[in-house]
Amino acid sequence: MAQTPHGRDDAGTAERALDVAEALAQTRGFNGFSYAHVAADLGIAKASLHYHFPGKAELGEALIARYSERFAAALARIDDEHPAARGRLEAYIDIYADVLSERRMCLCGMLAAEYETLPAAMGDAIIRFFDANQAWLTGVLEDGRADGTLTFAGDAQEAAQAVIGTLEGAMLIARPYRDLARFHSAARRLLDGLT
């Protein structure tokens, strides 16, 4: 692990910078904060951030990459812990509810709202995140249809798109009300429509 001349852990500083930037992006949006906000929160100079992330675009790419990795790990845990399709779907919904309970938005959902203003590499990473979620959900829905625990009309991919859209939209609408019950109501209706 690299050490600075002052003995600080470079990897730790980069990770803490990502933590701060992620919280800011999930509450303010990517365009709603600057390096100055992150540096001030960490108590370091902006130049120290540039050492780890040459520009804000690189910081954004690192944010999405880390978030996507964590989300993929959460989906793998769901697969391990919930053999039934409905249980996997309920656990997937819980991921969104947990984020919203912290008064945050899904990072990629928040960034999707700013898509046209983001660097192309970040936009591509956002699409990959949603594609991966759609592919996972498609498998869950197909499993549920096969074992009779989930029902839906049409193609499983289209149903997966609807699940993601419903959850992201439910987060967005619940947010200004600061009312998690609004999210849970939409999620419950979603589940009822699939079972």
- Cβ(108)–Cβ(119) below 8 Å: no
pLDDT (average), residues 149-155: 95
**Reported confidence tier of residue 9, pLDDT bands at 50, 70, 90:** low
Structural domain contains residue 187: yes
Structural domain contains residue 167: yes
pLDDT, tens digit, 9 for 90 and up, residues 37-80: 999 999 999 998 999 999 999 999 999 999 999 999 999 999 99
CA atoms within 13 A on the CB side of 175: 20
Cβ within 8 Å of residue 35, ≥6 positions away = 46, 49, 50, 56, 59
Tokens of 5: 């001349």
Structural domain contains residue 50: no
Average model confidence (pLDDT) for the chain? 94
pLDDT at 3 over 50: no
Structural domain contains residue 3: no
Structural domain contains residue 101: yes
pLDDT at 2 over 60: no
Q: Which domain holds residue 126?
A: 57-194
pLDDT, tens digit, 9 for 90 and up, residues 126-144: 999 999 999 999 999 999 9
How far, in whole angstroms, is CA 187 from its chain's centroid?
A: 17
Structural domain contains residue 28: no
What DSSP string runs through the chain?
--B-TT--BHHHHHHHHHHHHHHHHHHH-GGG--HHHHHHHHTS-HHHHHHH-SSHHHHHHHHHHHHHHHHHHHHHHHHHH--SHHHHHHHHHHHHHHHHHTT---HHHHHHHTGGGS-HHHHHHHHHHHHHHHHHHHHHHHHHHHHTS---SS-HHHHHHHHHHHHHHHHHHHHHHT-HHHHHHHHHHHHHHH-
pLDDT at 4 over 50: no
pLDDT of the residue at 7: 39
pLDDT at 184 over 80: yes
Structural domain contains residue 4: no
pLDDT of the residue at 195: 86
As for how many domains the chain has, the answer is 1
pLDDT (average), residues 3-30: 81
pLDDT, tens digit, 9 for 90 and up, residues 80-112: 999 999 999 999 999 999 999 999 999 999 999
pLDDT (average), residues 20-35: 97
Structural domain contains residue 9: no
**Reported confidence tier of residue 10, pLDDT bands at 50, 70, 90:** low
Provide the whole-model pTM.
Answer: 0.91
Supply the CATH number for residue 64's domain.
Answer: 1.10.357.10
Tokens of 186: 């939409």
Q: In terms of pLDDT, which residue wins out, 1 or 52? A: 52
Whole-angstrom Cα distance, residue 5 to residue 62?
A: 25
